[in-house]
């Protein structure tokens, strides 16, 4: 398994991986290729987008780091990063999220971001525990969401 930057050719496989998460009840946002391209692959707000690929070329995970503009719907302060993580349901708890975060943290430090926010559904125990394990702590809550923050500077 390797972690590498996302390319346009990953759009379809990422869409399939997100579809599997949706089918497992772990995702409600869109999964279609147009959404994936616009949000995770060719989004001008992206600071980094990394995939985890197994030895057969299958995409097992995706982590994105965005620098949202001033009108961010998740109230990420300007200049702060916004992180999102997705690991295929049949590949969870194998350390993929941890390895993705090592690469993303490097990109965040290279971009001199002062902090990262992760916006998680309040009932998503896996996501909350994962971000806690990566060093994030609760910053704010509301409307069924919990935002966890990691201060970098
Ligand atoms: C949350 C998610 C990204 C975790 O990815 P992962 O590859 O399974 O995480 P890892 O195996 O690297 O785990 C890293 C650490 O996070 C914690 N962790 C992750 N999943 C956990 C779980 N289900 N239960 C308890 N702890 C968990 C553990 O501390 C773990 O370290 P350990 O295995 O040494 O105990 C993955 O389950 C996922 O994609 N879920 C659906 C989408 C989602 O919820 N995204 C995040 C919030 S928006």
CA of 97 to the centre of ligand 1 (A): 6
Name the 3-class secondary structure at 116.
strand
CB atoms within 10 A of CB 136: 23
CA of 127 to the centre of ligand 1 (A): 6
Which atom of ligand 1 approaches the CA of 92 most closely?
8
User: Partners of 66 in the beta sheet?
Assistant: 46, 82
Any ligand 1 atom below 6 A from CB of 130: yes
CA distance 36 to 54: 20
Q: Please give the CATH superfamily to which domain 2-114 belongs.
A: Gcn5-related N-acetyltransferase (GNAT) (3.40.630.30)
CA distance 149 to 139: 6
Q: What's the pLDDT score for residue 150?
A: 98
The answer to whether 122 touches 144, Cβ cutoff 8 Å, is yes
Q: Any idea what DSSP says for residue 32? A: S
Q: What is the pLDDT along the chain (153 residues), one digit of tens a residue?
A: 999 999 999 999 999 999 999 999 999 999 999 999 999 999 999 999 999 999 999 999 999 999 988 878 778 888 999 999 999 999 999 999 999 999 999 999 999 999 999 999 999 999 999 999 999 999 999 999 999 999 998
CA distance 17 to 100: 15
Q: What's the pLDDT score for residue 73?
A: 79
Q: What's the pLDDT score for residue 72?
A: 81
Any ligand 1 atom below 6 A from CB of 53: no
Residue whose CA lies nearest to ligand 1 atom number 21: 126
């Amino acid at each position: 398994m390797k972690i590498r930057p996302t390319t346009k050719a990953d759009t379809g496989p990422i869409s399939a991986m997100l579809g599997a998460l949706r089918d497992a009840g772990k995702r409600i946002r869109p999964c279609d290729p147009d959404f994936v391209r616009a949000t995770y692959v060719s989004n001008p707000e992206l600071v980094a987008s990394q995939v985890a690929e197994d030895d057969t070329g299958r995409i097992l995970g995706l982590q994105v780091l965005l620098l949202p503009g001033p009108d961010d719907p998740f109230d990420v302060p300007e200049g702060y990063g916004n992180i999102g993580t997705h690991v295929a349901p049949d590949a969870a708890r194998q350390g993929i999220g941890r390895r993705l975060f090592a690469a993303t943290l490097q990109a965040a430090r290279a971009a001199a971001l002062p902090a990262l926010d992760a916006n998680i559904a309040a009932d998503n125990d896996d996501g909350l525990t994962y971000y806690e394990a990566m060093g994030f702590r609760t910053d704010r809550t509301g409307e069924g969401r919990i935002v966890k923050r990691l201060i970098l500077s």
